[in-house]
Amino acid sequence: MAVERTLSIIKPDAVEKKKAGAILALLEDAGFSILACKRMHLTRQQAEGFYAVHKARPFFGELVEFMMRSPVFVAVLEREDAVAQYRKVMGATDPAKADDGTIRKLYGGSVGENAVHGSDSLDNAKIEIAYFFPGNEVAPSAG
Ligand code: CMP
């Protein structure tokens, strides 16, 4: 299994509840290395640009407003099979449908306010990491 990187966003609802540290600890316990992490208050341009793929969806406006509401933590995670493993640890998009013990089950409130984001493919992980950590902000190796 290849070592991969993926992008995590701890969303405003979880940061407001002061669960960012608990979520990062859960990720480390699940075997992820946190290669980079920063707290940001997203601008409209940053939120709309990040979720541009969802622009035509009816919930786009609500999603952008939510992501701008208060600060988020964006983080680069690394481990074997990181994209799929992080999606497993996050749980289903709708916290009501997420498995017990997953981040969204533990900390998410609704499909709109679901505590965390994760890249859905390795290709998108590369794009999303570069969106928030341009240039050489993330070290080329974990060591
Ligand atoms: P995320 O993994 O960040 O990717 C897109 C986000 O859109 C998703 O998590 C949800 O938070 C949000 N989303 C998906 N479906 C809905 C919906 N029906 N209503 C509001 N937000 C949604």
Distance CA 14, CA 20 (A): 6
Out of 87, 89, 97, 111, mutate this one to test ligand 1's pocket (max ligand atoms within 8 Å of CB): namely: 111
Q: How far is CA 134 from CA 36, 88, 100, 129, in A?
A: 12, 27, 35, 8
pLDDT in tens, 21-66: 999 999 999 999 999 999 999 999 999 999 999 999 999 999 999 9
Cβ of 111 closer than 6 Å to ligand 1, yes or no, is: yes
Instruction: Return the DSSP state at 70.
Output: S
Counting atoms of ligand 1 from 1, which one is nearest the CA of 116? 3
Which residue(s) pair with 74 in the sheet? 9, 38
Set 117, 119, 128, 132: catalytic member: 117
Cβ of 63 closer than 6 Å to ligand 1, yes or no, is: yes
Tokens of 91: 């749980």
Q: How far is CA 82 from CA 58, 78, 91, 115, 121, in A?
A: 30, 6, 14, 19, 10
Cβ of 112 closer than 6 Å to ligand 1, yes or no, is: yes
Q: Whose CA is closest to atom 13 on ligand 1?
A: 112
Which residue(s) pair with 38 in the sheet? 74
pLDDT at 136: 82
Whole-number Å distance, alpha carbon 143 to ligand 1 midpoint, is 34
- 46-55, 101-110, 131-140: least confidently modelled range: 131-140
Could you tell me the maximum CA-CA distance found in the chain, to the nearest angstrom? 43
Question: 3-class DSSP state for residue 40?
Answer: strand
Distance CA 78, CA 35 (A): 7
Q: Is the dihedral of CA 126, 59, 92, 24 positive or negative?
A: positive
Domains of the chain: 3-132 (3.30.70.141)
Confidence of residue 143 (pLDDT cuts 50, 70, 90): low
Whole-number Å distance, alpha carbon 29 to ligand 1 midpoint, is 26
